[in-house]
Amino acid sequence: MFFDHVTIEVKAGDGGDGAVSFRREKFVPEGGPDGGDGGKGGDVILRVSERANTLQQYRYQRKFTANSGEKGLGKLCSGKSAENLYLEVPAGTLIYDAETNELIADLAKENQELLIAKGGQGGLGNNHFKTSTRQAPRFARAGAKGEERTLRLELKLIADVGLIGFPNVGKSTLLSVVTAAKPKIANYPFTTLAPQLGVVNYDTVSFVMADMPGLIEGASEGVGLGHDFLRHIERTRMFIQVLDPSFSDFESTMEQFNLIEVELSKYQMDLVDRPRIVAINKIDIADAELVAQVKSELEAKGFEVFLISAVSKKNVAKLIAKTAEYISELPEVEIFEPEKQIQAATDKREENDFSIELSGDYFEVKSEYWERVIRSINFDDYDSFHYFQRLIKRKGLEKALYDAGLEDGDWVKIGKMEFQWLDN
Ligand SMILES: Nc1nc2c(ncn2[C@@H]2O[C@H](COP(=O)(O)OP(=O)(O)OP(=O)(O)O)[C@@H](O)[C@H]2O)c(=O)[nH]1
Ligand SMILES: [Mg+2]
């Protein structure tokens, strides 16, 4: 079946840790700090690719992780940053935050890119922590964690023209003779199971034509292939409704026409008002008198009608010329605007993102930022510990702990680290 929505998890790479290293030189017993910085973790970037027509590639693999940056090295060598991870999606993919259901983006344009999870910055090497009073910092920063997100991808194809009609009327045949697309064509209903796109080049106009699976009565309620693809006709600028009058009479051909109208309006009222050209197909085998009768009936309803034979290409050029004329005048397909712009998480935001819980005898600090700080502190080293103490004060954690009721002698827990708080 057509694979057009999926939930995936993405994780950007972590930053590499900064290095703790000291220069080793002949005759210099204690060289200065020369620990290099860690490399940046890879970003996860979504990119629109015309190679993709479905979300099929996400069918089995649902978790995508960019590589982490490498650790810093001695001699002030920085760790290598990781490559970004690109995930390809078809044009018309809506990206939602799966947790909040918020629309993040509508990726519509070829090669459009969206940075969806930012790689962690590399940690600073110990050479950054040298001060006049601290000649030999025995600590460095750990790399920041890469962002993680759960995303819901939903494809709503974007095309200029949608081919609609009953199954087996010749929609795919029409697409195959006006574009380079090679849809499956066969003499039975529901040959086409997923929308197929093709590009029509006519004169100076070029437009995208979407061949849809056949519609039947009840499609709007899910009968046949139902809703699954009906949503893909939403984002078209106009329709070509294909009719098959062969082996048919006036009443049933008109019914064929009317049923599609009913399904369109049931699915979404305004679809019936979308510009539409009617193509009566298979005139090479249909009864000429019947065809003429249907044509005048539909023209009386105000439709523009073409009598074609997709197989022998009869009148197909005329139909396409008219379609191109419509297309050059019709407004663009609507692209959804996200409610708010995507925000890259900054370190600032991360710093303020903590909670303090009293669990048992501990004041437990829950915070990615502070857990990272803890990982980078060498508690056996006076300078390193002193640096940590000042950081707690400066970044407002000390005040927050006091506000939470912390008193002299209480125990604090951050990540795996537990320590007793001693006022001095
Ligand atoms: N004689 C004749 N046969 C045609 C013409 N156009 C299409 N056909 C035949 O009609 C049958 C169905 O054609 P398709 O193009 O697969 O029809 P479809 O509307 O895409 O069908 P679904 O994908 O099932 O909805 C095939 O056997 C085609 O060869 C035509 O102009 N004349
Ligand atoms: Mg088909």
> Among the CATH numbers 2.70.210.12, 3.60.20.10, 3.90.226.10, 1.20.1630.10, which is that of 1-156?
2.70.210.12
- Interval between CA 165 and ligand 2 midpoint (Å): 10
pTM: 0.75
Q: Output the six-digit token pair for 58.
A: 């996400």
pLDDT digits (tens, 9 = 90+) for 226-272: 667 788 888 999 999 999 999 999 999 999 999 999 988 888 878 89
Query: In a mutational test of the pocket of ligand 1, which residue from 311, 312, 315 has the highest number of ligand atoms less than 8 Å from its CB?
Result: 311
Nearest alpha-carbon partner for 382 in 18, 23, 33, 133: 133
Closest ligand 1 atom to 190 CA:
24
- Interval between CA 173 and ligand 1 midpoint (Å): 6
| Helix%, strand%, coil% for the chain, nearest 5 | 25, 25, 50
Please state the domain extents for the chain: 1-156, 159-329, 350-420
What are the Cα distances from residue 378, in Å, to 143, 254, 374, 384?
A: 15, 82, 8, 6
The Cα–Cα gap between 254 and 153 comes to 39
pLDDT digits (tens, 9 = 90+) for 128-161: 888 877 778 888 888 999 999 999 999 998 899 9
**HEC-encoded secondary structure of 98-144:** CCCCCEEEEECCCCCEEEEECCCCCCCCHHHHCCCCCCCCCCCCCCC
- Interval between CA 329 and ligand 2 midpoint (Å): 28
For residues 283-320, one letter each, b for 16 or more C-beta atoms within 10 angstroms of the residue's C-beta and e for the rest, the string is beebbeebbebbbeebeeeeeebbbbbbbeebbbeebb
pLDDT reading at 346 higher than 60:
no
Contact between 214 and 169 under an 8 Å Cβ cutoff? The reply is yes
- Interval between CA 282 and ligand 2 midpoint (Å): 14
Q: Which protein residue has the closest C-alpha to ligand 1 atom 10? A: 170
Query: How many CB atoms sit inside 10 A of residue 279's CB?
Result: 26
Q: Which protein residue has the closest C-alpha to ligand 1 atom 3? A: 282
Mean pLDDT of 16-20: 92
The Cα–Cα gap between 47 and 282 comes to 41
Q: Output the six-digit token pair for 93.
A: 């993919």
Ligand minimally distant from the alpha carbon of residue 281: 1
For residue 171 and ligand 1, the question of a CB distance below 6 A is answered with: yes
For residue 241 and ligand 1, the question of a CB distance below 6 A is answered with: no
109 CA to centre of own chain: 12
247 burial level (CB within 10 Å; 0-12, 13-18, 19+): exposed
CATH topology for the 350-420 domain: GMP Synthetase; Chain A, domain 3 (3.30.300)
What are the Cα distances from residue 394, in Å, to 19, 238, 263, 363?
A: 24, 61, 64, 19
- Interval between CA 263 and ligand 1 midpoint (Å): 21
Q: How many CA atoms lie within 13 A of 91 on its CB side?
A: 20
Q: Which residue's structure tokens are 């995303």?
A: 151
- Interval between CA 209 and ligand 2 midpoint (Å): 13
Q: How many CA atoms lie within 13 A of 344 on its CB side?
A: 14
Q: Coil, strand, or helix at residue 228? A: helix
Q: Coil, strand, or helix at residue 277? A: strand
For residue 173 and ligand 1, the question of a CB distance below 6 A is answered with: yes
For the residues of 384-413, what is the DSSP string, one character each? HHHHHHHHHHHTTHHHHHHHTT--TT-EEE
Residue 56 has what DSSP assignment? G
Could you tell me the sign of the dihedral formed by the alpha carbons of 331, 334, 338, 342, in that order?
Answer: negative
Nearest alpha-carbon partner for 338 in 97, 27, 170, 40: 97
pLDDT reading at 344 higher than 50:
no
pLDDT digits (tens, 9 = 90+) for 390-414: 888 888 899 999 998 898 889 999 9
CATH topology for the 159-329 domain: Rossmann fold (3.40.50)
For residue 247 and ligand 1, the question of a CB distance below 6 A is answered with: no
Query: In a mutational test of the pocket of ligand 1, which residue from 164, 173, 287 has the highest number of ligand atoms less than 8 Å from its CB?
Result: 173
- Interval between CA 412 and ligand 2 midpoint (Å): 67
Query: How many CB atoms sit inside 10 A of residue 187's CB?
Result: 6
Contact between 36 and 70 under an 8 Å Cβ cutoff? The reply is no
Q: Which amino acid is at 86?
A: Y
Lowest mean pLDDT among 148-157, 197-206, 337-346: 337-346
pLDDT digits (tens, 9 = 90+) for 61-112: 999 999 999 999 999 999 999 999 999 999 999 999 999 988 999 999 888 9
Closest ligand 1 atom to 176 CA:
15
Mean pLDDT of 111-133: 90
